[in-house]
Structure 1
Amino acid sequence: MSTDGGLVRRPERDLRTFLPVLAWLPRYRVGRDLSADLVAGIALAALLIPESIGYAGIAGVPPEVGLYAAIAAVAAYALTGGTSILVVGPASAVAALSASLVAELTSSGADPAVLTAALAVSSGLLLLLAGLLRLGWIVNFISRPVLHAFVAGLSVSIIIGQLDGLLGVEIDAETAVGKAWQVVARVAEWDPATVALGVLGLGLLVSLEHWAPRVPAALLVVVGGIALVWLLGVDEVSIDVLGTIPQGLPSPDLPGLDLETWLTVTAGGAALVLVGFSEGFAAASSVSDRTGEAVDGDQELVGAGAANLASGLFGGLAVSGSLSKSAASQAAGARSQVANLAAAAVVVLTLLVLAPVFELLPEAVVAAVVIAAVLPAASPSRVLDLWAVNRLDFAAGLTTFVLVLVWETLPAMIVGVALSLLFLVRRASFPDVVELRPDHDGTFAKVEDGVPGLSRPDVAVIRFEASLVYANADRLARAVDTLLGERPGLKVLVLDAEMVADLDSTGAETLHALDDRLAAADVEMRLARIHRRARGQLQRSGLAARFEGRILPHVLPAAEED
């Protein structure tokens, strides 16, 4: 095991870490856990089936595509995923992004369902490759504020996009804002029966989830909607229903596309990787907080990749980890991935036997299920709360949130990531450089904190509060110039390097140049509290020999020695 990262170490890899099922299945206690997992699996299926059908609608593909994805993704993640009860399946963000990407690719003449499956395959392969290369750290480049804002904006967009099914009105606008305007402008076209059923279903879902969270609200509303249409008769009501759902299971097959289209699809798959894995990793982290498990980002890449690849090969859409479904499964008593496999088995049974029943499912009920599922994530409060914490995060989050509503999802995500990286570079480029003075207890504090001054005015202590690299090295030089101008009698300058965890060639050149400049002004430069890594870099650059005798372990001796 490598110790280069100190206490942050990469897990060792072997067959059992690549296929975690080999580790947890032999330890599975059938007598204690099986009954709980089966009950949880049935409860999970009550949520998984209607949501998968709804997310298929968001993705712009037939309802069975969502069910295919649910079966394949759950089975694949159970073998390769590293989190015991995380549910991987169709999800709102990836479904909406998939629809946006497919809309840009339909000019090729390919079937949208084929393109959707191809996107799942391409994103799955990219995720697997990233997992094998141990690139789980990449997710850190999408800041949490941008991710939360993207998910919130996308959730609002999804809710607005479901209003046509909920209200029985035609909407043809491209953006969420345009759709919302059309819904209001066409109020006279709302279908009364559809509105009544959709609003009633949504009200029941929200009420039951709040007051009776253990009740399978989605299942009750779905069964009630189907029963109502069956009793009244499809031909006697104006309510739109799902229509034909093919019975049977799909056979695995690679989507039939030409090479040029595959290359274009793969570029879109990269976008799905960013969004899907970010959302899935956030869900895995939340689940692990409750189970006490450690989340391995590299293994989650492998698990997400296997789930997406399996979904695409079986004709499904892209998937990701789902916090809502995982929480529902855990609340129902799930102990392991066996619960998710049990839910997948119920979905298989649905396709084999119950498909004709779901053909009577009203689209208004599907819309209500989707809206209720994404409603908690649609709150903009997580974006607004950023104002009190960090204004740059707020600016990036608010920009991403607004762009999702007024533009397309992929460009909005790209802009959000770009802003995240831009602000990260800005933070690294403008670290504080502060002068320190000793406190009464021997520690050091900033000059502006009002602590007593140095007993020796010819000695100054400064602290550079970042790694010293090419993006910020000039700030140290400018700070020293300012200090020399303010302290004409200066004889000793101590650089407190406690926060300089890294040093590049530009940083080394800056230290060399500063030492020359200070020596010319008859000022001795000393270094204190050098980190192990920075000390090694000083050694390799030759600066350790130059500063020999002037590198001290603590600030106080460096400031007091003659």
Structure 2
Amino acid sequence: MAIGDWAPGLKAAAGYQPAWLPKDLVAGIVLTTLLVPQGMAYAELAGLPPITGLYTSILCLLAYAVFGPSKVLVLGPDSSLGPMIAAVVLPLVAADGDPAKAVALASVLALLVGVMMTVAAVAKLGFVADLLSHPTQIGYVNGLALTILIGQLPKLFGFSVDADGLIGEAAGFVRGVAAGETLPVALAIGAGGLAVILVLQRFLPRIPGILVAVLGATVATSVFGLADQGVDVVGPLPRGFPPLTLPHIDLSDLGILAAGALGITLVSVTDTISTASTFAARTGQEVRGNQEMAGIGAANLAAGLFQGFPVSTSGSRTAVAFQSGARSQLTGVVGAAAITLMLVLAPGLLRNLPQPMLAAVVIAASLSLADLSAMRRLWRQRRVEFSLALAAFLGVALLGVLPGIAVAVALSVLNVFRRLWWPYSTELGRPDGVAGYHDVRSYPDGVRFPGLVLFRFDAPLIFANARTFREEIRHLAHAEPAPQWIVVAAEPITDIDTTAADMLEDLDEELNAAGISLVFAEMKDPVRAKIDRYKLTRTIDPAHFYPTIEDAVAAFHSQRGK
């Protein structure tokens, strides 16, 4: 295997054009203004010290620059993964609340995600992203956005809540506000920062609203001594590059971490393939799903070995890099270098960054995650899929983030089975002025021939719908007057499994006893080959397979004319 196949970044570096350098440098500096505050905020969202968010950002950017195939995708701590990480890690450290243990658990979680991603890439399992249908993704993300929002409100108001789950946290927040626990100065700086972010994002998107808000809040805290007035601040950060660390955990925790890693892997793959597809269309690249998984796997492995936590693609940071003129992954390398320089030369730069401001950063991210317009569109377009989205939303909101993932996946899979179980089927007729035979529901005046039924079944014929097919054919056979031929327009039938084959054999014998012929038209060659392999032509007349519906109709009329 060529080096470019497993390390696309090295191949890209060999073809790097000097004219790209100024744009990549500028984009990297602009990107850093997002990476630092968001990395720290999302680390706290995951229940970890803020410094781990910076460590994670550095290592994942460097690893993806080597092993990732995309020129512009930006990886890092993600708001959608934060609650999932917290849901896995925090219960395991609840007894002693040891931050070092939480970091070790999160690092092992990142290593497990990295291994799963790498194995999936080698096994070419990029299709697992399809396990989450778009409606369930919409519902899941909206539930996640609400969960994040409610969880950050107490910090924004300057107090904390000891509760689990959305309902418990919401109730605790209301009780805290009612009991007068709100710290006005904390609320002022957090709400003010949130307003700055949202206003600038809405009306002046080219201005980095998060940077403006974070710098303003940090300066205000320093000038007015807000830390002495009870406002929690980040405090000094450790100096220097993150050290290589092999995390140690209890083996009894490994099962829970593996289950959480599986859910994180699925969400990360789905999000990455979606984001990669969007930006590949803009840059003229092709999406390489398996290589993307390898790149994300490498990023998670690197983060896990340097006190980091699981990462994914960030659509918002990728958009910022793209809009700033990024031409290659050097943009991410510049961002990683800038964060490293800050930790080496000025670790105290953000010591007075107030915690309510970090809450505002996370809340702004949660609002960007929410997509209520998509829910409204599903309501207008297809109520069944709206119901799936709503169920996924409730799964996250009421059961929790990780169970919500299980609910979303289960709903997606069940929706596939529902469509296979009860596929669309109809009779066909020949409408005046239109060539061919068409759905009589769309063309109710279509001509139907006495003694002949044309039936279309829009699905592969498998165990899940064999009974449905049989009952519909029986219903047609019991009509008055009874048909002589039932012609199955088999072009939509892409497969016939052994369960369906046994059903067809019994059904054909039943119809033959009633003087009715079961006939097939437009059956695909691979499906017909299976019919022969199953030896169904022992009962079904081999002459009753026609290349077109017109041929079957002509044969029926020819037989009746004899």
Q: What TM-score range do you get, normalising by the shorter chain?
A: over 0.9
Q: CA deviation at 1:353?
A: 1.7
Deviation at 1:452, TM superposition (A): 4.1
SS in 2 for 1:385: helix
Letter aligned with residue 105 of structure 1: L
Which region of structure 1 is more displaced relative to structure 2, 249-258 or 302-311? Answer: 249-258
2:522 equivalent in structure 1 = 529
- Closer, same or farther in 2 for the Cα pair 1:96/1:535, shift >3 Å? same
User: 2:71 & 2:47 partners in 1: Cα distance?
Assistant: 31
- Which of these residues, 10, 28, 35, is aligned with residue 48 of structure 1? 35
Amino acid in structure 1 at the alignment position of 2:144: L
Q: Relative to structure 1, is the Cα distance of residues 449 and 277 closer, same or farther in structure 2, using a 3 angstrom cutoff?
A: closer
Q: Indicate the residue corresponding to 1:7 in structure 2.
A: none
Please give the alpha-carbon distance, in whole angstroms, between the structure 2 residues aligned to 1:17 and 1:179: 47
TM-superposed CA distance for 1:17, in Å, is: 3.2
Q: Structure 1 residues 94 and 421 mapped into 2: Cα distance closer, same or farther (>3 Å)?
A: same
Separation of aligned partners in 2, 1:104 and 1:53: 21
- The alpha carbon displacement at 1:372 in A equals 1.6
Q: 2:210 aligns with which of 215, 218, 226?
A: 218
Matched residue, 1:5: none
Identity of aligned residues (%): 34
Counterparts of 2:241 and 2:325 in 1: how far apart (Å)?
29
Secondary structure at 1:526 match in 2:
strand
The answer to whether the 8 A contact 2:84-2:402 is kept is: yes
TM-score by structure 1 length?
0.93
Give how far 1:72 is off.
Answer: 0.9
Would the alpha carbon gap of residues 396 and 448 (structure 1) be closer, same or farther in structure 2, given more than 3 Å must change? closer
Match of 1:77 among 64, 84, 101: 64
Q: In the alignment, is the contact (CA less than 8 A) between 1:433 and 1:475 conserved in 2? A: no
Q: Does residue 151 in structure 1 map to residue 141 in structure 2?
A: yes
Q: How many correspondences in the alignment?
A: 549
Query: 2 CA distance for matches of 1:455 and 1:107?
Result: 71
Alignment of 1:305-324 (within 5 A): 305-324=297-316
CA contact (8 A) 1:198 1:364 kept: yes
- AA paired with 1:60? G
Secondary structure of 2:519 counterpart: strand
1:352 deviates by 1.2
Choose which of 59, 63, 86 in structure 1 pairs with 2:50: 63
C-alpha displacement of 1:55: 0.3
**Superposed CA offset, 1:234-281 (max 9, x none):** 654332110131111122232112433334322221121122222232
Change (3 A) 1:437 1:172: same
Once the two structures are superposed, the pairs formed by residues 282-293 of structure 1 within 5 Å of their partners are 282-293=274-285
For 1:344, give the aligned amino acid: A
Secondary structure of residue in 1 paired with 2:81: helix
Q: Does the 8 A contact of 2:157 with 2:356 survive in 1?
A: yes
- Structure 2 counterpart of 1:261, from 246, 253, 262: 253
Which residue of structure 2 lines up, in the alignment, with residue 16 of structure 1?
4
- Following superposition, the deviation at residue 108 of structure 1 comes to 8.1
Q: Residues of 2 paired with 1:47 and 1:541: CA distance?
A: 62
Tell me the secondary structure at the aligned position of residue 317 of structure 1: coil
1:142 is aligned to 2:132: yes
Aligned residues of 2:45 and 2:362 also touching (Cα < 8 A): no
The residue number in structure 1 matching 2:23 is 36
Inter-partner Cα distance in structure 2 for 1:281 and 1:358: 34
Contact 1:147 1:278 in 2 (8 A): no
Q: Tell me the amino acid that sits aligned with residue 113 of structure 1.
A: V
Q: CA deviation at 1:53?
A: 0.2
Corresponding residue for residue 541 of structure 1: 534
- Asked whether the equivalents of residues 49 and 347 of structure 1 are also in contact (C-alpha less than 8 Å), the reply is yes
Aligned residue identity for 1:439: P
CA shift at 1:383, angstroms?
Answer: 2.8
Does residue 555 (structure 1) correspond to residue 555 (structure 2)? The answer is: no
Listed one character per residue, the Cα deviations across residues 197-254 of structure 1 (whole Å, up to 9, x for unaligned) are 1111111111111121111221222222222222233654332110131111122232
Match of 1:252 in 2: 244
Compared CA separation, residues 280 and 469, structure 1 to 2 (3 A): same
8 Å CA contact 2:37, 2:214 repeated in 1: yes
1:488 aligns with 2:476: no
Shift of 1:310: 1.0
> Alignment partner of 1:549: what SS?
helix
- Where do 5+ consecutive residues of structure 1 fail to align? 1-12
1:512 aligns with 2:509: no
Cα pair distance change 1:169/1:261, threshold 3 Å: closer
Tell me if structure 2 keeps the 8 A contact 1:277–1:301: yes
Aligned Cα RMSD in Å? 2.0
SS of structure 2 residue aligned to 1:246: coil
2:368 aligned to which of 376, 392, 400: 376
CA distance in structure 1 between the aligned counterparts of 2:89 and 2:435, rounded to whole angstroms: 65
Aligned runs of 1:366-515 on 2, under 5 Å?
366-440=358-432, 441-454=434-447, 456-515=449-508
Amino acid at match of 1:271: G
The Cα shift of 1:436 comes to 0.7
> What is the distance in 2 between the residues matched to 1:108 and 1:198?
30
Q: Is there any run of 5+ residues in structure 2 with no aligned partner, and where? A: none
The residue identity in structure 2 corresponding to 1:357 is L
SS at match of 1:460: strand
Deviation at 1:507, TM superposition (A): 1.9
Residue 117 (structure 1) shift: 0.9
Alignment check: 8 A CA contact 1:438 1:451 kept = no
Which is further off, 121-130 or 15-24? 15-24
How far, CA to CA, are the matches of 1:160 and 1:368 in structure 2?
12
Structure 2 CA distance, aligned partners of 1:470 and 1:410? Answer: 32
- 1:49–1:67 contact (8 Å) kept in structure 2: yes
Please give the alpha-carbon distance, in whole angstroms, between the structure 2 residues aligned to 1:508 and 1:335.
56
- Give the letter aligned to residue 242 of structure 1: V
Alignment-derived partner of residue 131 in structure 1:
121
What is the deviation of 1:15?
Answer: 4.5
Q: Is contact 2:87–2:402 with CA below 8 Å preserved after alignment?
A: yes
- TM-score normalized by the length of structure 2: 0.93
